[in-house]
Chains A and B, each alone.
Chain A
Amino acid sequence: MALLTWFRRRLVVIFGLLTLGYLLLPNVVVTVFSFNDPSGRFNYAWNEFSTDAWTDPCGVDGLCDSLALSLQLALWATLAATVLGTTTAFALARYRFRARGAVNSLIFLPMAMPEVVMAASLLTLFLNTGARLGFWTVLIAHVMFCLSFVVTAVKARVMSMDPRLEQAAQDLYAGPAQTFLRVTLPIAWPGIAAGALLAFALSFDDFIITNFTAGSTVTFPMYVWGSAQRGTPVQINVVGTAMFLVAVLVVVVSMAVGNGRKRMKA
């Protein structure tokens, strides 16, 4: 009876922890196996502890090249999608024009359509226009599917903005450019940043569309896929773990900065 009461009181916490475990278990496995020294070509069974892979992450042929390429692609795609997406979001939120309704719903298509379909269509398009598959075709494809996410994130922010703030800026001698730089942009910033982060993550780990449009270029996800067929080097786990740690670090630092600011003001 007492046990049941104890259980009942902590039900929410228990379920929370279970869900968290479910989410984090794969990361734990990846991290643990990054310290493995596998006996064969596949890093699927625990053999013995080793830090070899951590001391030489680029020790496998092509891995670091593909990683650098993926980072480059993600950066450019994020930049382009954020600029284009932000301007589109402003246009959709602020102005009434003829095709506004159509654009508003079409912008969601890349999010709703199965990726394989989009990838196949893109490939058809590129082949018909005679484009050489490689870095640029992948970049174009990435910008395209990142756009809708940026537009959605920024539009929500812009729509909730009080139009009187911009009027107040104008009333206080800020011309159109100054108003945009000093008031509109800073207030829309959280939406833009969220859109950019989403775009980066999506571009970095996209496999399907990239695989169709890359030609002989190899990005990091393609490299992982390829190596999974013939033997997975431990270095892949190292890169995965490092990325996970960087993400956690970014979150922790941004939270600490936010808290520190709040405490300073109070």
Chain B
Amino acid sequence: MRDVTETTGTTAPGDGGDVRLSGISRTYGDFTAVHPLDLTVPEGSFFALLGASGCGKTTTLRMIAGLEEPSSGSVHLGRQDVTRLPPYKRPVNTVFQSYALFPHLDVFENVAFGLRRRGVRSVRKQVRDMLDLVQLGEHAHRKPHQLSGGQQQRVAVARALINHPKVLLLDEPLGALDLKLRRRMQLELKRIQTEVGITFIHVTHDQEEAMTMADTVAVMNAGRVEQLGAPADLYENPATTFVANFLGTSNLIEAEVASTAGGEILVRAGGGGLGVPAGRCSAPAGTGARLLVGVRPEKAALTLADEAGRIPDGRNRVTGVITEASFLGVSTQYLVDSPAGKGLAVYAQNVDRDPRLAPGAQVVLHWDRAHTFALDAAQDIEAGVERVEPATAARTEEAPGTAGNPARAGSTGGTGGGVKEAAG
């Protein structure tokens, strides 16, 4: 895994209200939760820290809030060094996981809490306006336990936002909601962020949520930022296998460089040849070098082997046999075994469904060469793959090896759709 420490934005450090983390780290005894990390979140942006549980994203957030003291490094808000400030002196507010609403206070008093502590006298109008913003005006005098999960979530957002913080921190704020409500709250939060223009830093393990909401996503793994960028950029150009597998699904094929010519790398994989644009290869590509060649399942298409002649020239091709076809409504998900790799996934939109594309059929899997990317082969090909087994089979135990465990294709079929929207 590469130690990627990057910064975003073009603004000079210390400008305006940027959040700037410099060499910040956190260790607990022998365990390093966050490796030294440099990160700049531009003012007014919607920033997501994305990663599996235990990757250090919440610890990073808590260090910005002041609830956790960094073992090294500093936190700046604009020009102000807040590293040693206690949480109640930082112009930062948090929406906690499972909300942490005060059970003994009603909705109104929960929302007014921050204003009252800062000695604001007339809170009534501000609280009313804020409750209207989150559409809870008529519930002002309920206690938190009398509200539904979605309503509690909005109280938590209102309670934080009313203080006009420089930065709003959101710690898995939608984790406790069911899928439909979560989708609605994602849009709602995005709307509120656009409306108030405050910097949002959002911690989540849900890649779809991160991509839907954030301008910039930092993918974290084992206490380090693996890659950072706009959602579409991360999705299209993953720099590591972890990002390729954790954000959506990728077909990764082990290959060896045969030649390099005219901005294109030709590789050999499973007895066939594939082309990769040189610009989309993030590893050294001398002749004979080992690469992992990747393509997203929705960019690949299937054609019956008998009709292979109809495939336009210049596309990458892999021949194989369909092992599984699952109908998902908008699309059908196929798994193809080929000499190049097992369990290659293809998502086909259900426009004209070909009934002959069924398990056992000989097919050619083909895609535009421009949609191919290549990664360094010296990494775990299955890093970041969503496991079907219980999480006890820790990620650290994943052995690099057999490509295309069927479990890999188990990640969401809906992802492709969501991503395309974000990309478009």
Q: Which of A147-182 contact B (CB under 8 A)?
A: 162, 164-165, 167-175, 178-179, 182
- Chain A residues whose CB sits within 8 angstroms of the CB of B146 once the complex forms: 265-266
For A266, list chain B residues within 8 Å (CB). 146
Q: How far is the CA of A265 from the CA of B101 in the complex (A)?
A: 17
- Min distance, Cβ A184 to any Cβ of chain B, angstroms: 11
The interface size of chain A toward B, counting residues with CB under 8 Å, comes to 21
- Chain A residues near B163 (CB-CB < 8 A): 172-173
Chain B 93-137, CB within 8 Å of chain A: the 1/0 string?
110111011111010000001100110000000000000000000
| Contact for A165 among B66, B67, B92, B102, CB less than 8 A | B102
Enumerate chain B residues within 8 angstroms of A178, measured Cβ to Cβ.
Answer: 117
In whole angstroms, what is the CA distance A4 to B142 when docked?
A: 49
In the complex with contacts A265-B141, A265-B142, A265-B143, A171-B88 CB distance below 8 A: yes
**In the complex, B87 has a CB within 8 A of chain A:** yes
A172 to B, closest residue via Cβ: B114
A162 neighbours in B (Cβ, 8 Å) = 100
A265 to B141, CA, bound (A): 7
Q: Does A186 contact B (CB under 8 A)?
A: yes
Residues 159-176 (chain B) with a chain A CB within 8 angstroms? 159-160, 163
Q: How many angstroms from the CA of A186 to the CA of B100 in the assembled complex?
A: 15
Picked from B93, B104, B143, the residue with its CB within 8 Å of the CB of A186 is: B104
Q: Is the interface of A mostly helix, strand, loop or mixed?
A: helix
The A-B contact count (CB < 8 A) is 69
B143 — which chain A residues lie within 8 A by C-beta? 265
The CA of A92 and the CA of B106, in the complex, are separated in Å by 30
Using known A-B contacts A167-B67, A265-B141, A265-B146, determine if residue A174 contacts B117 with beta carbons closer than 8 Å: yes
B86 contacts A by Cβ under 8 Å: yes
By a CB distance below 8 angstroms, the chain A residues around B98 are 164
Contact digits for A191-205, partner B, Cβ 8 Å, 1 yes 0 no:
000000000000000
| Contact between A171 and B102, CB atoms less than 8 A apart | no
Q: Which residue of A is nearest B98, CB measured?
A: A164
A187 in contact with B104 (CB, 8 Å): yes
Residues of A within 8 A of B93 (CB): 171-172
Find the B residue at minimum CB distance from A161: B103
Given the complex, which residues of B lie within 8 Å of A164, measured CB to CB?
96-98, 100
Q: Is A183 an interface residue (CB 8 A)?
A: yes
* Interface flag for B255 (CB, 8 Å): no
Q: Determine the distance from Cα of A181 to Cα of B352 in the docked complex, in whole angstroms.
A: 67
Q: Does B65 contact A (CB under 8 A)?
A: yes
Complex: A186 Cα to B110 Cα, angstroms:
14
CB distance from B418 to the nearest CB of A (A): 31
Establish whether residues A173 and B65, one from each chain, have CB atoms under 8 Å apart when the complex forms.
Answer: no
Rounded to whole angstroms, the CA-CA distance of A186 and B68 in the bound complex is: 25
What's the minimum C-beta distance from B383 to chain A, rounded to whole angstroms? 32
Task: Choose from B88, B101, B103, B159 the contact partner of A170 (Cβ within 8 Å).
Answer: B88
- Whole-angstrom distance between the Cβ of A213 and the nearest chain B Cβ: 40
Interface string of B197-239 (1 = CB under 8 A from A): 0000000000000000000000000000000000000000000
Chain A 125-165, CB-CB to B under 8 Å as 1, else 0, gives 00000000000000000000000000000000000001011
Q: Do the beta carbons of B100 and A167 come within 8 Å of each other? A: yes
Q: Contact: A173 with B142, CB < 8 Å?
A: no
Residues of B within 8 A of A169 (CB): 102, 113
19 of the cross-chain contacts (CB-CB < 8 Å) are: A165-B103, A167-B87, A167-B94, A169-B113, A170-B88, A171-B66, A171-B67, A171-B94, A172-B88, A172-B113, A172-B114, A172-B159, A173-B117, A174-B113, A174-B117, A175-B88, A182-B113, A187-B102, A187-B103
Q: Which residues does B use to contact A, with CB under 8 Å? A: 65-67, 86-89, 92-94, 96-98, 100-104, 106, 113-114, 117-118, 141-143, 146, 159-160, 163
Q: Which residues of A contact B (CB under 8 A)?
A: 162, 164-165, 167-175, 178-179, 182-183, 186-187, 189, 265-266
Q: A174-B88, A174-B117 are in contact. List 15 more A-B contacts (CB 8 A).
A: A167-B96, A169-B102, A169-B113, A170-B66, A170-B86, A171-B67, A171-B94, A173-B117, A173-B118, A178-B117, A187-B103, A189-B104, A265-B106, A265-B141, A265-B142
Those 6 A-B pairs whose CB atoms lie nearest each other, nearest first: A172-B114, A164-B100, A168-B100, A173-B117, A170-B87, A186-B104
